[in-house]
């Protein structure tokens, strides 16, 4: 009985060594991008087969490599933004705001002082026209006892 237990333990060690030695997975995170697609597929299949065995026999490097292949930042999980991306976005936003401010200031320089409908005479004439048309007779400018200024807003 002791002998069979020793043989089983030895077989487990041999299997564990075989899984860890057939494909090198040391520093896989740094080497992954430089490997060809065939090599990546070979490593992924090797790790898949190694995970079917007892996890206690896997080396730490095999476990790290399996995690990286399954969840690492490669392929579709690779980050779209690089370092200092926040500064680029901030610079772009500041640039757009500056251009829009310059554009606004330029348009204001070329525009007239005020529209012709903003003088007091025009607004008083608008009030008289609306009264003659009996506009808003319940609560508005044509109602009895109306005390508001109507459409006169300029002084």
Q: Which residue has the tokens 């430089």?
A: 34
Q: For 10-43, write each residue's pLDDT tens digit.
A: 444 444 444 444 568 888 888 888 888 898 899 9
Q: Which residue has the tokens 């090198």?
A: 24
Q: For 127-143, write each residue's pLDDT tens digit.
A: 999 999 999 898 888 99
CA dist., res. 30 & res. 140, Å (int): 76
CA dist., res. 46 & res. 69, Å (int): 11
CA dist., res. 63 & res. 69, Å (int): 10
């Amino acid at each position: 009985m002791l002998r069979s237990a020793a043989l089983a333990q030895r077989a487990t060690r041999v299997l564990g060594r075989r899984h860890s030695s057939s494909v090198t997975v040391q520093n896989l995170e740094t080497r992954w991008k430089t490997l060809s697609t065939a090599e990546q597929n070979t490593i992924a299949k090797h790790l898949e087969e190694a995970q079917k065995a007892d996890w206690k026999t896997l080396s730490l490097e095999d476990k790290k490599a399996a995690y990286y292949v399954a969840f690492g930042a490669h392929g579709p999980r690779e980050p779209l933004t690089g370092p200092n991306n926040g500064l680029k976005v901030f610079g772009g936003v500041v640039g757009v705001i500056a251009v829009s401010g310059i554009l606004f200031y330029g348009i204001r320089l070329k525009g007239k002082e005020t529209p012709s409908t903003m003088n007091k005479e025009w607004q008083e004439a608008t009030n008289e026209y609306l009264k003659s048309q009996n506009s808003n007779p319940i609560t508005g400018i044509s109602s009895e006892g109306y005390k508001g200024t109507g459409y006169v807003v300029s002084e």
